[in-house]
Structure 1
């Protein structure tokens, strides 16, 4: 359940399979993955990515983040989607921002902003999840925990 997959350059890459659902079943393994930014690619990472047979990458980073650090796997995959959950600003790396405040509710407020401000984007993402040809897939942002965590 939530098994980490070891890449050389990519951190926090995990299978979302094996979790219990509200209906008493489990999420499918090898179907949806979550990750930090997809660094690399090293030859070993490329080989592991091919072994996972990923069909789709859903990149939740802001445009300025994409410009600073383009997705190196973008052209090696059948489907690549950039869905900005950060709104109009480059508001990625919420965890870094949280170290600059003493407000204990900062992160929960930030997560609500993702949902409330990103209704259309989240709707687009879930529309993509309904299409069989997109599987298996990986959803990621910068660290793989804030924007990705909200969506997962």
Structure 2
């Protein structure tokens, strides 16, 4: 169903039909600060693009000229997206009223759901990759560890993920999980920033499922790289506005996170996210620049990113 409403059709802030939590990061910061700090039209963030309408697709390609899409979702999320797409097609063909996504077979090609934007390139970077998964597994007791490994061995990956979410991710909370991402998804984060350091990558759109936490972490790095030019209050505002932006799909997303064993906290924006993550970077790594150097994103690459975003 289209979510388009009657705002100025020439406004860059007008909503998409079926893409939510979308914004030009530079424009959002500039509006909050009431002055031009960042370039506009170069760095965007959003929730997943899977349900985009044809009009949304044309706008991304012809108006915003998106060159690179960085998709931070996991393999399990892509599989869910493809099962959902197949369910929608099956429902349209047979007029079935319900389709059990959890019971549906795992698709052989888990990328059928991905939006094709003419003229753009896509980077699939699972920010919850192998290192992150190993860190979660290391927190399990032996009994639960055996269950998780057993499920993965027989191909029940989604069930294994659900058990991990219930026993580890839920107690860790969003901020704890974000810290784990910094500590254990270093290879994946390096890939993200290697792309962002490339002159040919822009305009760039970064997204995950909700476009809130993993996307928010990448955006946090970008805004911290800008230095004192971007006040902390502007970074907090950009992160926290996702909660309101996600309201249109609250029930759908609640159903999805409950299916993996998580609760309502995981569709909220905890007020301490930005200050806590900034403090963690400072105390453990010496700040965002030192962290990026540590994972292989050198000063020259950092300066190229900074040059691309600062007005």
Q: Does residue 83 of the first structure (1) align with residue 146 of the second (2)? A: no
Larger Rg: 2
Of 57, 73, 89, which residue of structure 1 is paired with 2:115?
73
- Provide closer, same or farther for how the CA distance between residues 74 and 44 of structure 1 changes in structure 2, counting only shifts above 3 A: closer
Corresponding residue number in structure 2 for 1:54:
66
For residues 46 and 205 of structure 2, what CA distance do their matches in structure 1 show? 7
Is there any run of 5+ residues in structure 2 with no aligned partner, and where? 1-11, 31-35, 82-110, 134-157, 220-311
The answer (yes or no) to whether the contact 1:57–1:74 under 8 Å persists in 2 is: no
The answer (yes or no) to whether the contact 1:61–1:86 under 8 Å persists in 2 is: yes
- Provide closer, same or farther for how the CA distance between residues 42 and 75 of structure 1 changes in structure 2, counting only shifts above 3 A: closer
Deviates more, 1:65-74 or 1:126-135: 65-74
Is there any run of 5+ residues in structure 1 with no aligned partner, and where? none
**What TM-score results when the alignment is normalised by the length of structure 1?**
0.79
The answer (yes or no) to whether the contact 2:127–2:188 under 8 Å persists in 1 is: yes
CA deviation after TM superposition for structure 1 residue 30, in Å? 0.5
For residues 74 and 40 of structure 1, what CA distance do their matches in structure 2 show? 11
Q: How many residue pairs are counted as aligned between the two chains?
A: 140
CA deviation after TM superposition for structure 1 residue 46, in Å? 1.4
CA deviation after TM superposition for structure 1 residue 77, in Å? 4.2
Deviates more, 1:122-131 or 1:41-50: 41-50
Deviates more, 1:38-47 or 1:65-74: 65-74
Corresponding residue number in structure 2 for 1:26:
37
C-alpha RMSD of the superposition? 2.8
- Provide closer, same or farther for how the CA distance between residues 38 and 49 of structure 1 changes in structure 2, counting only shifts above 3 A: same
Deviating above 6 A after TM superposition, structure 1's stretches of 4 or more consecutive aligned residues are none
- Determine helix, strand or coil for the equivalent of 1:8: coil
**What TM-score results when the alignment is normalised by the length of structure 2?**
0.41
Q: Which has the higher helix share?
A: 2
